[in-house]
Chains A and B, each alone.
Chain A
């Protein structure tokens, strides 16, 4: 059994172990969950030195690392085929890290503790499996496995409108997966394994254009399939106009689930585009790159404007996620080495930064029991440590130089500008809006006259501190590693960029080699 299998199925094993524990022993359940996620994190980190930075991957089986392959359903040529390259490895590390941290973020869960942590670990299995799968069918199965725990975690442990939010999330995502399923079957029936000659779900075989049937070589068909996949993935990213589930889901979800949702699940959408749409349909991708860039620019501006209009802090962070995923879209649409490196780096950075933001929202919500920005004020005096760590997160979100997000955003713009000047300029102007809402929020929350809340009127500082105690050790423990990573990568981004560069450059070359088709479209 290889390390990737271990990483994928250890959490599921943990879920089973939790299932055997008594339901009222919350302590044992929490620590079991922590132990299993820690094991996954440690295995993932130990893979870093073994991970070769020169292997390409993407469409080259020898370029993948830690590959495992075994027959699963031979009748359909479905195999358990896993491996990582520069595209999936950073995502795998991010998932392992966030899952471990989120166990501690969830420490305060009181209702149905056993079910919560079991589902959480199952969710981790789904995410890990989706990132390491190299068989489309396996990817689809893991993709669906993610859906259910998420649905329950929002629907049972969420806020007042949790049922509505959970169903909305489920239905949106399910529509996406149905489209993906149809496209997957279309690929399956039109791709022949070069060795056996049978139809196959192997992604790498699908990427070799020589294996495609004549029907699959019709450009109109390819465009249709490309947009089928695009909608499936765009719902997950989410790209305007498929984003409406996201604010609801985020607002209702418990803190840790928001972190996972924003930190990992949104990346699943862009990851899917890069892993599946780009290399299997390079010509359609190349032809419609402008469309992806346009949607990226729209996302940046739309998300930022919506964020600015929010009164609820969590909704603001949710919309800022939409905006930040726009950078990823713009970067990958550029099809330049800098742009795509920036995009995947932005995926990683957004994962860490937005995780911090959601944890911070959770911290203040646990104390004040509301999230209305305008009812805060002067928190810098009441909770100085909280203010300090919040500053790191907010400035990282706005892309301040010295923070990791600055580097990825700069790379995205550098890569995209020569290709899509207009969209890039629109995108850059999004930064200004971002700076606007971030700074305005910081100003309203942390500075000023003091709390603008009737509840605290006439209380002395000591009395207020009883209601709003300083951020505690456990919460700091969840935030400081993320802050350290954000700052470290802001100064020295090479560890992550080095991991992914070879693969992503190869991906760009692959897509760029395909022709841009302009004539005969429909």
Chain B
């Protein structure tokens, strides 16, 4: 047997994570019941090791394991995004978990397992691998969403996510089966070759297959009309988990979508373009309009992330290299803004879980100026004010869409961005301009603060060197087989 077909370099990063999961469980077991610090440190070490491996094997893998996975720059880029998010939520998490008396070692292993699933979603060149990665990721998330069994809303979030998520993956599997039935393979190269060659993207079961694939993926992205779960789940889940969920799985879903649809984007045909067009327009509009009137910061951020999924769809729709690279850049900046914003949200929450009132932010600008300044960076980044990273993400994706001829959709997107200003700005108004409601002080938690500061720094940094990061993203897209 030819062993060179099993090139472990291609899956080095998820392998490290897999070993890490076992290590973290072992450390947690050995370190006694009340002490979770060793597990946290082990998890951080695992993430750093995985990141080091990811950088060391950047774009060296190539397609391996009989065409099942590709360890290209695309996978490496996304792995780095996932790992960054994992690092931040693991660093920031303990204080929150302690506060709610739910500090269990499984938090760390579940986060790592979930990231491992995402890594396979980004690396998979076969629909089966992508599906299994998505299931691994989701399963860990279902449990994480219900990580606080004492709170009803957490249980509700978990159950809702599980039920709806299972349906979505059911659709995805059905779609894969239909695609297999049509082309006799689950290999993505065959899939795009078929679409490019056949000319008719609706031949036989292809139409139904692609439709179901899209439903499965857009559910994970929280695209309208498959977004109903996201505000309830983000709101009910423990907030550290919401931070993780709103960032990494969305990125993973877009990674999978790019893997599947980037190459055959040209040959998908007009009906799919129209459907994606409508989905994108609906998603950003519904997301933004719903976010306008939310009293809870968690629900507001949930709807805002729906809106961002809409902007990101523009990149998929554009189907050109800039669109794909733009999505990579957009996600690289978006995850930091979202993780940062969610983390600040639970840091300032003084009314107890389940009551995430925007009023918690009152006078934060004077109580904790640095924290408020960083929250402002996240809000402004989400609006897309230059020169923050969020602006360039939008610029790249919108530019790509214009190049592909979707001028009106971009106009809708720009107008939507203008609408979004209202609710993002409201947070800042409250932080700096609303009178104090005699709120208790915000805890000083160095590790969590460091995580938020790292997020803010990245949002600013990515805005200062957008060109070189885009070049890396472009190379990553070009390295896809």
Contacts and interface: CB of A to CB of B under 8 A. Distances in A.
Complex: A in contact with B (CB within 8 Å): yes
Interface string A321-362: 000000000000000000000000000000000000000000
Interface in B432-481: 432-434, 466-467, 470-471, 474
A73 B466 contact: yes
Contact of B402 (A73, A78, A189): A189
A72 B468 CA distance: 9
B415 A178 contact: yes
A112 B467 CA distance: 36
17 contacts: A73-B467, A74-B467, A75-B467, A75-B470, A76-B395, A76-B399, A141-B387, A147-B385, A148-B385, A162-B433, A170-B421, A171-B422, A182-B411, A182-B414, A185-B398, A188-B399, A189-B402
A140 interface: yes
Contacts of A140: 386
B366 A112 contact: yes
B191 to A, nearest CB: 30
Interface in B387-405: 387, 392, 395, 398-399, 402-403
Contacts of B398: 185
Contact of A171 (B385, B386, B415, B421): B421
Contacts of B366: 112
Contact of B432 (A74, A145, A156): A156
Contacts of B415: 178
Given A73-B470, A163-B433, A178-B415, 8 more contacts: A115-B365, A141-B387, A144-B386, A155-B433, A170-B425, A182-B411, A185-B399, A188-B399
Interface in A172-205: 174-175, 178, 181-182, 185, 188-189
A392 interface: no
Interface in B173-229: none
A144 B385 contact: yes
Nearest to A185: B402
A155 B429 contact: yes
**Among A144, A145, A166, A175: residue with most chain B CB under 10 A:** A144
A72 B385 CA distance: 18
B402 A166 contact: no
A152 interface: yes
Nearest to B380: A148
Contacts of A156: 365, 432-433
A141 B434 CA distance: 29
A167 B369 contact: no
Contact of A174 (B387, B395, B421, B470): B421
Interface in A35-84: 71-76, 78
**Among A72, A73, A166, A189: residue with most chain B CB under 10 A:** A73
Nearest to A112: B366
B107 to A, nearest CB: 35
**Which A-B residue pairs are the 3 nearest by beta carbons?**
A73-B467, A141-B386, A163-B433
Interface string B46-64: 0000000000000000000
Contacts of A166: 429, 433
A166 B426 CA distance: 12
A20 to B, nearest CB: 12
Contacts of A78: 467
Given A75-B470, A163-B429, A170-B425, A145 B418 contact: no
B417 interface: yes
B418 A175 contact: yes
A115 B418 contact: no
Interface in A153-167: 155-156, 162-163, 166-167
Contacts of B434: 163
B416 to A, nearest CB: 10
Which interface class (under 10, 10 to 19, 20 to 34, 35 or more) fits A?
A: 20 to 34
B189 to A, nearest CB: 28
Interface residues of B, number: 31
**Among A147, A156, A171, A181: residue with most chain B CB under 10 A:** A181
A156 to B, nearest CB: 5
**Among A76, A140, A145: residue with most chain B CB under 10 A:** A76
A276 B231 CA distance: 44
A72 to B, nearest CB: 6
Contacts of A71: 467
A115 B434 CA distance: 17
A75 B433 CA distance: 40
Interface in A100-159: 112, 115, 140-141, 144-145, 147-148, 152, 155-156
Contacts of B432: 152, 155-156
Given A155-B433, A185-B398, A174 B418 contact: yes
Nearest to A111: B366
B309 to A, nearest CB: 21
A22 to B, nearest CB: 13
B306 to A, nearest CB: 21
Contact of B471 (A75, A144, A145): A75
Contacts of B385: 144, 147-148
Nearest to B395: A76
B386 to A, nearest CB: 4
Contacts of B467: 71-76, 78
Contacts of A147: 385
A167 B434 CA distance: 13
A407 to B, nearest CB: 38
A78 B470 CA distance: 13
Contacts of A76: 395, 399, 467
A178 B418 contact: yes
A167 B414 contact: no
Contacts of B395: 76
B81 to A, nearest CB: 20
B80 to A, nearest CB: 20
A325 to B, nearest CB: 25
Nearest to A166: B433
Nearest to B417: A178
Interface in A414-438: none
Nearest to A143: B386
Nearest to A170: B425
A167 B429 contact: yes
Contacts of A174: 418, 421
Contacts of A170: 421, 425
A115 B369 CA distance: 9
Contacts of B414: 178, 181-182
Interface string B360-388: 00000110010000000000100001110
A152 B373 CA distance: 11
Contacts of A162: 433
Contacts of A141: 386-387
A167 B385 CA distance: 16
A271 to B, nearest CB: 19
Contact of A167 (B418, B425, B470): B425
A464 B425 CA distance: 45
A171 B411 CA distance: 18
A167 B474 CA distance: 38
**Among B402, B418, B434, B471: residue with most chain A CB under 10 A:** B418
Contacts of B474: 75
Contact of A145 (B386, B402, B403, B417): B386
Contacts of A75: 467, 470-471, 474
Contacts of A148: 380, 385
A112 B432 CA distance: 11
Nearest to B403: A189
Nearest to A155: B433
